[in-house]
Structure 1
Amino acid sequence: MSWLEGTDAKLSTLPTEQRQHMIKLTEAHLETVTDLLDAGRFSEATGRRLHLPASSLASTCGWYRFDQGRHYAAGKLWNAAPSNAHTARDRDQGAGVLSDFAYQAIWLGKPESALEPLSQALIHTRHPMARSALHLRRARAHAAMGNAGACRTDLKAAEATLLTDTREPAPSWCRWMSTADPAVDSGQCMLDPGRAKEARTRIEEGLSLLPRSRDKTRGVFRTYEAQSLLQTREVEQALAVSNESLDVAQRIGADRCVSLVRDPGPAFRPYTSVDGVPQFPERLHLC
């Protein structure tokens, strides 16, 4: 059991760029744990211990599929994770899975579907870092729906709870959280109502705080920066940032991040006289 738990912890906390090379091993580990649950003989206490890596590994494998743009496959894996977390009596892990579903809903342009899972997750976790991540994602959902007041409330809660001192270790699903995340996500929330200059300031602040180990997140954040630059017609810089984001997305094998770079591509069309702009659609086409 200790080996199974330790291997789960190592596979689930690898940097994104390393995870893409370990997907088959992670899926095999999930299959091993699932087989043990289906056919093994163990005590109730050991069963609870087995259900926790089953939930954690399903969540991790779901993120692989999500990054590949395989949303149905990701959802299928995430559907298996909450019941395992419940059986393991780990409310924090269950809250993390609800957060995964919500993030996917926001990504797919269905922010209204994210509100209930995030509100439920906030009921089920007490750790400040987990609550900060949940408030942050709910703020993004509110921003996408045009709920400015609710968005501001959640952004303030995200920043306040992240600074709350605690001796308890953060749940594994949100240990990546840092002060970079509220900064960038608040900037992204400002983009929706067109507050581009304010958004850019916050996004740049967040990018400066982001650790190098989070390159996938950096690539996503840089696409937000490109959007803010396009809104203020700083086309050359927006193009440079978009190309950098595309480089990161291709290197880490994240098709959904490539799609994120592709989405604002049409906004470059009025600027074909700017050096490099005519070539950008061709590069996107080859991805």
Structure 2
Amino acid sequence: MTAASPLGELLAVFGLRADQLARRLNDMSEALGRPERVHTKTPYKWLRGEVPRSPWRSLTALLLEQELGRPISVADLGWPPDDLECAPATTGLQTAWTTAGTLRAIRAVADAGYMDRRSFLLMLGASLTSPAHEWLVAHPTTSLAQAVGTAVPAQIVDDLDAITARLRHMDDQLGGGPLLRLIHEHLRYVTTLLTQGRYDDTTGKRLHATAAELLRLAGFTAFDSGQHGLAQRYWVAGLHAAHTAGDRALGANIIGFMSCQAKDLDGGREAVLLAQTARTGYPGGSGRVTAILELRAAEAHANDQTATTTRRATDIRRAIDTAFDALQDPRPSSDDPGWSYWMTDTHAHGQAGYCYLRSGDHQRARHHLRQAVKTDTDSREGALRQILLATTYIQQPQPELEPALSYAHRALGTLSGQVDSARCRSHLSRFSEHLAPYRRNTNVRTFLDQVKAAKEPSTRQHT
């Protein structure tokens, strides 16, 4: 590799080849929720003087800046600027845990628009866990009443919550991608009521809780469609809103989703810390909420590579057992918040199966996943469970192609015809990688060709 160009000199500092740079750039583009991918040979052309297309100029400068720990601009690489604007996910959200601070955080997200042109950089490490720890120790807020503005009747909040509930169920069936715009516009309306309305303390708490759940849902739809930095923005603002509403269950649930994202992005230790914070911050009362938080913890432990095998297995089993016990809690279901409806025995089996699959216990994983696919096979979660069940057959010591392909075909049919979920497609891609050694098999080759044909047309290579 030549060091004649500024790029070559910087790559030489930390021993990165041009093809390795391409892979790192593709990872960064995916984490930012962008569709572009660069061929592994293309950066060699940049070393010979060719100017990269947008957004690779900005992404390359950003990657080098993160690696070297000092500012690197596009101009430093000898290139003209491009139109990509990056910002930390916490931009505008580093605010006090007060009513005024919450409104600033909500507006920073809601007023930006669901198609914010900025690409938001992921929070990692301590920056990721810090908002959760601040939520845990923040002082409760006082009266939320506002004395000026247009009156907000309680019935209006009932209607807003009914709309939010419908959006949740639409997300279950369609996946996150198509719904983010609808959810964001609903959030903007609620934000307008919060900032310009007149209401008493009770209505104020309900409005903040409504905003928190919309922010949670928007974050999940962004996460499900691969926009990870944007998802974190929604969730941090949602955590502020849940705190102001005094809703510990909702705040803990948001942190549980942050943990889920962290484990998907290989942040196993951060996922564990977030899951533990959520457990600690929730005082109990709802069997479903307890089950949600315990299964998030189980997933985090299943992905924590810093723990010993024995410790992981113990923590996973304990959390799963606690979750199923909580679902059998005889206390009245009226203690369960409306947003917890999705935590059923079926869903618990699906998450338990995932955990055992990640820990290599294929027999237990298959038992739980078979229970999970008995119903609800045509939704996003149904497709995901079928992919995971297929994976148990291909990862076991003696792989079985026929049942693996059978379940995978069902999942592919759902993802091709109904559900838009980048998260599910990612799981399907990983399953396809496990099939690669068996490509000589006609049925395997046919399936892999179908997966390739079903990929989003917007995912493309830039050369």
| TM-score with structure 2 setting the length | 0.58
1:222 and 2:378 correspond = no
Partner of 2:437 in structure 1?
A: 270
Shift of 1:243: 2.4
From 13, 28, 31, give the equivalent of 2:188: 31
Q: Distance in 1 between matches of 2:414 and 2:283?
A: 33
Q: CA-to-partner distance for each residue in 1:141-195, whole Å, 9 max, x for gaps?
A: 1122241111111111111111111212412332111112332333322223433
Q: CA-to-partner distance for each residue in 1:203-230, whole Å, 9 max, x for gaps?
A: 112222x445x71111111111011110
Partner of 1:134 in structure 2?
A: 293
Shift of 1:18: 4.9
**Equivalent pair of 1:230/1:238 in contact (CA under 8 Å):** yes
- Higher Rg of the two aligned structures: 2
**Equivalent pair of 2:294/2:322 in contact (CA under 8 Å):** yes
Structure 1: runs of 5+ lacking an equivalent: none
SS at match of 2:445: coil
Partner of 2:427 in structure 1?
A: 260
From 351, 354, 375, give the equivalent of 1:188: 354
Q: Distance in 1 between matches of 2:336 and 2:320?
A: 20
Greater fraction of residues in helix: 1
Change (3 A) 1:16 1:182: closer
Q: Distance in 2 between matches of 1:46 and 1:197?
A: 50
Greater Cα shift, 216-225 or 275-284 = 275-284
SS at match of 1:278: helix
Q: Counterparts in 2 of 1:1-287, with a 5 A limit?
A: 1=156, 2-14=158-170, 16-18=172-174, 22-123=179-280, 124-126=282-284, 127-145=286-304, 146=309, 147-167=312-332, 168-208=334-374, 210-211=375-376, 215-232=379-396, 233-250=399-416, 251-286=418-453, 287=455
Residue type of the alignment partner of 2:444: V
Q: State the number of aligned residues.
A: 285
Change (3 A) 1:190 1:8: closer
Greater Cα shift, 67-76 or 22-31 = 22-31
Q: CA-to-partner distance for each residue in 1:90-130, whole Å, 9 max, x for gaps?
A: 11111111111111112222121122222222231411111
Greater Cα shift, 1-10 or 196-205 = 1-10
**Equivalent pair of 2:238/2:254 in contact (CA under 8 Å):** yes
SS at match of 2:181: helix
Structure 2: runs of 5+ lacking an equivalent: 1-155, 456-463
**Equivalent pair of 2:209/2:241 in contact (CA under 8 Å):** yes
Q: Distance in 2 between matches of 1:140 and 1:88?
A: 28
SS at match of 1:140: helix
Q: Distance in 2 between matches of 1:15 and 1:29?
A: 14
RMSD (CA atoms): 2.1
Identity across matched positions, percent: 26
